[in-house]
Amino acid sequence: MSELVNFEKRGAIGVITVDNPPVNALSPGVPEGLVDCVAQGNTDPEVKAMVLRGAGRSFIAGADIKFLGQKKTEAGLTYRTIIDDSEKPIVAAIHGYALGGGLETAMACQYRVATKDAKVGLPEVLIGILPGGAGTQRLPRLIGPKAAMEMIVTGRHVPAPEAKGLGILDDLAADIDDLLDTAIAYAERIADVRPLPRIRDDDSKLAEAKEDPGMFDAMRKKIARRARNQNAPYHCIKCVEAAVELPFDEGVERERELFEELVNDDEAKSLRFAFFAERQANKIPDIDKSVKGRNIDTAAVVGAGTMGGGIAMCFADAGIPVKLLEMNQEALDKGLAKIRANYETSVKRGSLAADAVDTRMGLITPALEYDQIGDADIVIEAVFEEMPVKKDVFGKLDAVMKDGAILASNTSTLDIDEIASATKRPADVLGTHFFSPANVMKLLEIVRGSGTAKDVVATCTALSRRIAKVGAVCGNCDGFLANRSRAPFQTEMNILVEEGAKPQQIDKVMYDFGYPMGPFAVGDLAGLDIGHAVRQRRKKESPNEHRDLPIPDRLFEMGRYGQKTGAGWFKYEKGDRTPYPDPVVDEVIAEVGRELGLQQRDDFTEEEILHRLLFASVNEAAKILEEGIAYRASDVDVMWLNGFGFPRYRGGLMFWADGIGVKNIHAQMVEWQERYGDRWKPAKMIEELAASGKGFLDD
Ligand code: NAD
């Protein structure tokens, strides 16, 4: 018998426990163990019914992604049918997560109970595949095709109370301590029910689709924008259609065919890569598990502006009490009102319960004096982006914060070591760089100063998970990893416009590539005044490296700051965020072209636009890797995916670059270097990789 699954008797109930730490994934050995244990229960005359549960922190959390795309063992193919065919009923007892293969196993059981805080779901679409263990055939029969399709196409985790309402669960247990007793009591109650309820034999819920045959096309339409360039969401819909149209066994076969089409395609490979890259980003080469993080029970934020307010929300959303400090009552009131308005918008959208607004606001304590925040475990500064202001704030924090507190800055560009020098405890100082809007964007760029203590970095990587962010660590340099690697993209898009390309043309190429918005529309959203201020500062600090960008500067001088003034790179109608091309901008472009004596072109291909923007950043990322500011190429990808909206199904900037081939990128850069000058000089790392035929992500 497999050591990963065990069987014991509690009276007349056989209890099958999957014990495959950490999350009871369905790796080889687990299906074999399940088959043996179900047989044991069925042959033991004392056993009347069985309970299937997971040991440790979860039920079966899902398939083991490491083994995806590999051939399944005999038991791997048949264990669900064996559970489904069991002569005696089996009750799945779920705690933690039952996701993907976990929920598929639970749906092969005849009954399901779960703890109130458990979550179930079929999230395969998020890694570019579909639930390939008959999940797309059982779920529509269990809860109806419409609700099933919504769950499968979004991949969302469904909380247990909602799952019970949908009909996925039969009963709820108060908590993990109560789960086994609840499941055993349930099993005793239904032990003699015959015939056994088998989801595959019950087509009654499928009738709903016959009455509403347009539901599948309606779903395709609904996801068209978000799912562009992708196959998996559409294949998921096809599977649910098959569940409605075909007998169960044929539907399972169709599901398998569609699964095979996806599992090794580029989309699934990219999404799997992104999944592992995010896990890898938490591992810092010189910080191992022996480095224990500090306790974070309370937090403080200095500055209640755009970023500070969003950062305070991240803590409140995670249930961590946070104090919010401002310069004066007016600024504080304004910041708090904005936070409340954000929460109320979420309530209106249906993504937050109405009573949660007061709970979360209750976790945010306003403050006007530094003494009031001294006892926080971590303080994050989000005041104006000016070194003297930052140093002044850190001096004050040094005076009041308790020993062992972490002092973090949300600066986007300023030197962390210089900020730390304003304190007597540089080991406790680091950068925690959130992206705007801070309560929405997933990335937390953790910037390690030259003196930052290891346990401070470890605390912040762990904290990133608690506040629902994807943390990635890098070293200290102007712009750090994320913004520094993106800066050449931004310069290049401006150069393209100087050469005659239209903002709407460039935006379309990048939108079609998979970005949620084009880069010029993003510029209008962030505000052209912000970019202008950064350029002014850089020009002052390093005039030799600075390149003027005359077009956005002129738009700024015309008062075109973007959406907030109704015009920027595009024009906007009142109350409408749609960017409309503006002839005034065309005129500015033509005018600057004349002044610079440029022969403007109108023959840009999509490939030229895409490659010039992204290769420029690939080159900078290579330099960042050479300098050791980034630990690994996949960290660049994690930052681009979670900070800049790079399409996840393309893996990330460096994964995409490897797909083109560093050799090809190098050859193109050399050609452009001759044509456009030294901004295209390939980084040393690119020269070396091109010579050796390797990629950024090769070992
Ligand atoms: P903001 O102007 O919206 O907010 C700054 C707030 O800090 C203001 O409310 C101001 O009253 C307050 N403040 C200034 N000095 C203070 C002091 N001494 N004590 C207490 N409060 C003080 O600016 P923001 O956009 O929120 O940016 C804040 C920081 O975050 C900057 O370092 C910025 O570079 C960084 N950042 C901004 C973005 C973005 O997109 N806006 C993104 C990432 C990082």
pLDDT of residue 73: 86
Phi first, then psi, for residue 419 (nearest 5°) are: -60, -45
Catalytic residue from among 3, 8, 74, 124: 124
| DSSP 3-state percent helix, strand, coil across the chain (nearest 5) | 55, 10, 35
pLDDT of residue 202: 95
Catalytic residue from among 104, 241, 267, 499: 104
pLDDT of residue 309: 98
Residues of the chain with pLDDT under 50: none
State the number of CA atoms in the 13 A half-sphere of 368 facing the CB.
7
Minimum CA distance residue for ligand 1 atom 25: 306
Nearest CA to 632 out of 581, 694, 696, 688 is that of 696
- Give yes or no for a cis peptide into 550 (omega within 30° of 0): no
Amino acid making up residue 458: A
Complete edge-to-edge strand list for the sheet that includes strand 378-381: 364-367, 322-325, 299-302, 378-381, 406-409, 429-434, 443-448, 470-475
Q: What element of type H or E holds 329?
A: helix 329-349
What are the chain's domains? 5-263 (3.90.226.10), 299-479 (3.40.50.720), 482-602 (1.10.1040.50)
Phi first, then psi, for residue 339 (nearest 5°) are: -60, -45
DSSP category for residue 644: S
Phi first, then psi, for residue 407 (nearest 5°) are: -110, 110
Distance CA 407, CA 378 (A): 6
Query: Are 668 and 615 spatial neighbours (Cβ–Cβ below 8 Å)?
Result: yes
User: Residue 389 CA: which ligand 1 atom is closest?
Assistant: 18
Minimum CA distance residue for ligand 1 atom 35: 411
Does residue 488 sit in helix, strand or coil? helix
Structure-token match 């309402």, residue found:
165
For residue 39, what are its two tokens? 């047989």
Helices (H), 627-660: 633-643, 653-660
Does residue 323 sit in helix, strand or coil? strand
pLDDT of residue 284: 95
Distance CA 497, CA 438 (A): 30
- Cα 306 to averaged position of ligand 1 atoms, centre (Å): 7
User: Residue 325 CA: which ligand 1 atom is closest?
Assistant: 20
Distance CA 408, CA 41 (A): 57
Query: Are 471 and 465 spatial neighbours (Cβ–Cβ below 8 Å)?
Result: yes
104: annotated active-site residue = yes
Does residue 238 sit in helix, strand or coil? helix
Ligand 1 mutation target, pool 327, 342, 439, most atoms within 8 A of CB: 327
3: annotated active-site residue = no
Distance CA 662, CA 450 (A): 31
Amino acid making up residue 91: V
Ligand 1 mutation target, pool 301, 302, 307, 419, most atoms within 8 A of CB: 307
Nearest CA to 94 out of 82, 106, 81, 109 is that of 106
Distance CA 141, CA 203 (A): 6
Does residue 297 sit in helix, strand or coil? coil
User: Residue 436 CA: which ligand 1 atom is closest?
Assistant: 40
Looking only at the bridges linking them, the beta strands covering 299-302 and 97-99 are unpaired
Distance CA 636, CA 644 (A): 11
- Which residues make beta-bridge pairs with 347? none
Burial 439-458 (b: 16+ CB within 10 A, else e): bebebbbbbbbebbbbbbbb
How far is C-alpha 302 from the geometric centre of its chain's CA atoms? 26
- Cα 415 to averaged position of ligand 1 atoms, centre (Å): 16
First to last CA, the chain: 38
Neighbouring C-beta atoms of residue 535, cutoff 10 Å: 17
- Cα 309 to averaged position of ligand 1 atoms, centre (Å): 9
- Cα 371 to averaged position of ligand 1 atoms, centre (Å): 20
User: Residue 305 CA: which ligand 1 atom is closest?
Assistant: 4
Nearest CA to 652 out of 284, 273, 279 is that of 273
Minimum CA distance residue for ligand 1 atom 9: 305
Does residue 325 sit in helix, strand or coil? strand
- Cα 385 to averaged position of ligand 1 atoms, centre (Å): 7
Q: pLDDT tens digit string along 556-598?
A: 999 999 999 999 999 999 988 999 999 999 999 999 999 999 9
Q: pLDDT tens digit string along 396-432?
A: 999 999 999 999 999 998 999 999 999 999 999 999 9
DSSP sequence for 415-463: -HHHHHTTSS-GGGEEEEEE-SSTTT--EEEEEEPTT--HHHHHHHHHH
User: Residue 383 CA: which ligand 1 atom is closest?
Assistant: 7
- Cα 170 to averaged position of ligand 1 atoms, centre (Å): 50
Structure-token match 């600075």, residue found:
546
Ligand 1: list residues with CB < 6 Å: 302-308, 325-327, 331, 382-385, 389, 393, 410-412, 434-436, 526
Query: Are 437 and 310 spatial neighbours (Cβ–Cβ below 8 Å)?
Result: yes
Contacts of 470 (CB under 8 A, 6+ apart): 278, 281, 442, 443, 444, 464, 638, 642
Write down the pTM of the prediction.
0.93
Phi first, then psi, for residue 100 (nearest 5°) are: 50, -120
pLDDT of residue 1: 56
How far is C-alpha 476 from the geometric centre of its chain's CA atoms? 24
Q: What element of type H or E holds 279?
A: helix 266-280
Minimum CA distance residue for ligand 1 atom 15: 383
Distance CA 681, CA 674 (A): 9
